[in-house]
Amino acid sequence: MTGPGSEWLDDEAGPIVRSYALTRGRARPATGDAFDMITIISTAARPRGGAPGIGPEHFDILEMCVQPQPVAEIAARLRLPLVVVRVLLGDLLHHRLITATRPRPESTLSKERLLREVLHGLQAL
């Protein structure tokens, strides 16, 4: 329990060390993208072999987003903090392995239609 390296096994430090290790210390996405919680991520390509800077967690995201997913669901399912997921998404976008569809600023007419659709959907629940 107190052997060499046990200082890295502290319960509180553990996940944090891991989080930033995954991003190699980066706290901001390489592409400078904001990745809103409901930005939808879709897998565009899946590299066959290894790609530089693309790790297992990147592949997890690519696998998950074959069915397009919002950023919040990716973070929740991978159990990774949002800040980390955003960095990983930035890497994937940089390598053109994903596409990101941001929430659209709706035009006046389509906003009304959208709200009516949401209302009818809720009433039908």
Binding positions for another protein, rule: CB under 8 A:
12-13, 16, 19, 27, 36-38, 40, 42, 66-68, 70, 72-73, 75-77, 81-84, 99, 101, 103-105, 108, 111-112, 114-119, 121-123, 125
Q: How far is the CB of 42 from another protein (least distance, A)?
A: 6
3-state secondary structure of 101: strand
Q: Quick one: how many helices (H) and strands (E) in the chain?
A: 5, 3
Q: How far is the CB of 52 from another protein (least distance, A)?
A: 25
Q: Which is nearer to another protein, 9 or 114 (CB)?
A: 114
Closest C-alpha among 113, 88, 71 to residue 29? 88
Q: Which is nearer to another protein, 1 or 122 (CB)?
A: 122
Contact 102, 36 (CB under 8 A): yes
Q: How far is the CB of 89 from another protein (least distance, A)?
A: 13
Contact 31, 93 (CB under 8 A): yes
Q: Which is nearer to another protein, 53 or 110 (CB)?
A: 110
Closest C-alpha among 18, 35, 105 to residue 72? 35
Q: How far is the CB of 4 from another protein (least distance, A)?
A: 20
- State the DSSP string of 114-125: HHHHHHHHHHT-
Q: Which is nearer to another protein, 6 or 108 (CB)?
A: 108
